[in-house]
Amino acid sequence: MIYYKIKCKYTVTEEADEAKLMRFWRKADSSYVGGQIFRVIILDRDETTIDAILMFSVSDYSLSSIKKRVISEFDESGETIKSINFSKTPEEITVTEAISLIRCRTIDGAGGNAYRCSKRVATRWCNAEYLNDNFDLKFDEFVLPHKQLSFSKAKDEARGILADESFYEELERIYSPLNKRKFCGNPVNYLINAASRETAKNLVKLLTKALYSNKRLLSTRVAYVTELGDVSYDKAIKNLCENSYASLVVIECSDSNIKDDRFARGHERLSEDIYDILKEYSLQTAFILVDLGSKACKQAVGELIVKEDISFIEISEGKGDNSTGKKYLKTLLKENKVRYVKEDFVIPEQEVYSVNDIVTAYRNIKKNRIRNSLYKSYKEIKPLKIDAPVAVSNSYEKLQSMVGLTEIKSIIDQIVSSQKINKLRVEMGLDVTGISKHMIFTGNPGSAKTTVARLLTSILYEEKVIDRNRFVECGRQDLVGRYVGWTAKQVEEQFRKAMGGILFIDEAYSLVEREGLYGDEAINTIVQMMENYREEVIVIFAGYPDKMERFLEKNEGLRSRIAFHIDFPDYNADELCDILKLMSKNKGFSLDSEAEEKCRRIFDEACKNAEFGNGRFVRNLLEQAIIKQSSRLVNEYGNSKIDKSIVSTLSADDFDINAAKVYKPEKIAIGF
């Protein structure tokens, strides 16, 4: 649907007496004129003019063809309205504005009483139930002016927002004379890599104007979705997409928008949502995915390309010179209505500015204006200095040297920083609120869950986050009793063992995989103990990603007590090579170039298999290679002297071992 605010001049027939007019307007005012694909809702009227909302399906009508329908629908008999014409050019508006205008009108009810239209009724009339309060779909709407943008003007605007070369290439395609200047469906979608929402919106607006000018869109309305929501999102987003035929829907992808990422498969769910939405609607609606740093975005795009053959154009932000950069900064400030004085306009002098440089300067100016201009008493305060966590222990250094694990490294720094702030608050006499530190580690075997948990214990102890360097590892056999009444005692015993440290429950999902009530009793007791020992024990649950979801669903209180959900993804071939080099170095070995190439091929094949063992597979491979090397050197040198460099170097032949043959590539049979 497309929505217009219209003003019409009308005349009545000579036969239309006062009674006829009253009956006609009473009917027209009570709801709307029209049907499912065309509606006129009267907002206000006098003896010659009507103010109204006009909405219609752009797949069935154009603005020019709808005018005749408006006249016929207003008075099918022709006994009341003689003529009706638009007195000025209709103005396209957002669905939100249409609903707001409808709710402000006064409707005549039974007995002549007047009442205002409810939001529920207004959204139903506008075919926009997704705007009801019972949906938590979050989005912003805006409409751009219906103006034609020439190719040269589009390129000028692109320079003004520091567009990348990829944007100019797409403008060439949009304005190409090879294209039909008619809406025939949506040929491609877009992936925008952006530094911030503000800069992403500038790229979206320019893209919208270019597409509309070439009839690739029939509306300049943009729905910018910032959060798909948790409750009934499916119905809401589908309703929005159905209402956005031949217009633009933007979905912003950011890890900060994933509400349940701490818990279960937040990234996977977002990726699945995007996949389902574009699969169903991308032929009739143009989609832009804005990637603000989300692995779910790239994952969804990859699956859509491979599985559904849906095309994407990737657009990145670019750079500009000193003059262009400062001009773009002023544009950002103006568009976001940030007033500033000359002394607040501070930007480092550089020959070249990236979009990220401009965004940083924009945010600093915005922040300084609040403090320096609006609340001047805070202008001279000195910033509080908190030392960033440093690698004070060998465990911290070991963790930092491990391959990957970016998320866990970041979370440890957050916990340590939080502890330092709490200590500072105590010294200042301020209240300190206890923060839950319980965690869940999900990942396949060999993804370093247990190793990281052990290192985490030492790090938190060194940083005085926990009282003891105590790591207690347990499983189902340690928690579930054989007889009635034993389970609760065994669970509490494990918590007592871990007092002051970390309780690591491996394969936690096994508590719900077997029949019987004892597993349920164990979970209920764990939840109770987590609350009882909140300040004394940090609990880490670990296991396979999918199985851990069922475990979390078993007890409503369990999920809410877990502060951090950390996913340990499978390592790729590059990371496995790095792990092998690190393990080899720690054992006093190195690999020659041929051995590295051979191991790369082994890892490439291994990664094609589910649950290939990750780091565990690398360790087995290395240990077997060391044994093979020992045998080779004894056979080659016997009792002769061997150089140290030879003893400490593994060759390609040393990896002709059993572990390397487990994931050999399949041979393709040729014949009949």
pLDDT in tens, 482-531: 777 788 888 988 898 888 899 999 888 888 766 555 677 888 889 888 88
**Buried-exposed string 496-535: b where 16+ CB fall within 10 A, e elsewhere:** eebeebbbbbbbbbbbbeeeeebbebbbbbbbebbeebbe
Tokens 């202008």 sit on residue: 379
Over residues 532-591, the pLDDT tens digits come to 888 889 999 998 888 888 888 877 778 888 888 888 877 888 888 888 888 898 888 999
Among residues 420, 438, 418, 423, which one has the least CA distance to residue 534? Answer: 438
Q: What is the pLDDT of residue 659?
A: 63
pTM > 0.75: yes or no:
no
The count of C-alpha atoms lying within 13 angstroms of the C-alpha of 423, restricted to the half-sphere facing its C-beta, is 11
Over residues 299-341, the pLDDT tens digits come to 788 888 888 888 899 998 888 888 888 888 888 888 778 887 7
The CA distances from residue 21 to 14, 50, 69, 155, 626, in Å, are 11, 14, 20, 54, 98
Q: Indicate if the pLDDT at residue 228 is higher than 50.
A: yes
- Residue type at 645 in one-letter notation: S
Q: What is the pLDDT of residue 255?
A: 65
The torsion defined by the Cα of 42, 44, 50 and 52, in degrees rounded to 10, comes to -40
Q: Indicate if the pLDDT at residue 467 is higher than 70.
A: yes
251: part of which helix (H) or strand (E)? strand 248-253
Q: Indicate if the pLDDT at residue 112 is higher than 60.
A: no
Most confident of 261-275, 387-401, 579-593, 596-610: 579-593
Which residues are CB-contacts of 357 (< 8 A; sequence separation ≥ 6)? 325, 347, 348, 350
Over residues 18-41, the pLDDT tens digits come to 887 777 777 776 666 667 778 888
Q: Indicate if the pLDDT at residue 661 is higher than 70.
A: no
- Report the SS3 class of residue 141: strand
How long a stretch of residues is the chain? 672
SS3 content of the chain, % helix, strand, coil (to 5): 50, 15, 35
Neighbours of 302 (CB within 10 A): 13
633: part of which helix (H) or strand (E)? helix 614-637
Pull the structure tokens for residue 377: 């008493």
Secondary structure, 3-state, 74-97: HCCCCCCEEEEEECCCCEECCHHH
Phi/psi zone of residue 208: left (φ > 0), alpha (ψ -120 to 50 degrees), beta?
alpha
Q: What is the pLDDT of residue 662?
A: 63
The CA distances from residue 303 to 254, 276, 311, 344, in Å, are 18, 11, 11, 46
Pull the structure tokens for residue 13: 């027939």
Q: Indicate if the pLDDT at residue 174 is higher than 90.
A: yes
**CA-to-CA distance for 118 and 115, rounded, in angstroms?**
9
Q: What is the pLDDT of residue 263?
A: 32
Give residue 218's pLDDT band: very low, low, confident or very high (50, 70, 90): very high
Q: What is the pLDDT of residue 638?
A: 83
Mean pLDDT of 115-125: 81
Over residues 579-616, the pLDDT tens digits come to 888 889 888 899 998 989 888 888 888 887 766 667 77
Least confident of 258-267, 271-280, 328-337: 258-267
617: part of which helix (H) or strand (E)? helix 614-637
Over residues 49-106, the pLDDT tens digits come to 888 888 888 888 888 788 777 766 765 556 777 777 887 788 999 999 999 998 887 6
Neighbours of 582 (CB within 10 A): 15
Pull the structure tokens for residue 99: 């609903």
Inter-residue long-range contacts of 584-592, CB under 8 Å, 24+ positions, other chains counted: 584/622, 584/650, 587/622, 587/626, 588/648, 589/622, 589/626, 589/648, 589/649, 589/650, 590/648, 590/649, 590/650, 591/649, 591/650, 592/649, 592/650, 592/651, 592/652
- Report the SS3 class of residue 138: strand
Q: What is the pLDDT of residue 348?
A: 76
CA 409 to centroid of chain Cα atoms: 21
Give residue 389's pLDDT band: very low, low, confident or very high (50, 70, 90): very low
Tokens 């945010």 sit on residue: 363
Least confident of 246-250, 400-404, 599-603, 630-634: 400-404
Q: Indicate if the pLDDT at residue 426 is higher than 80.
A: no
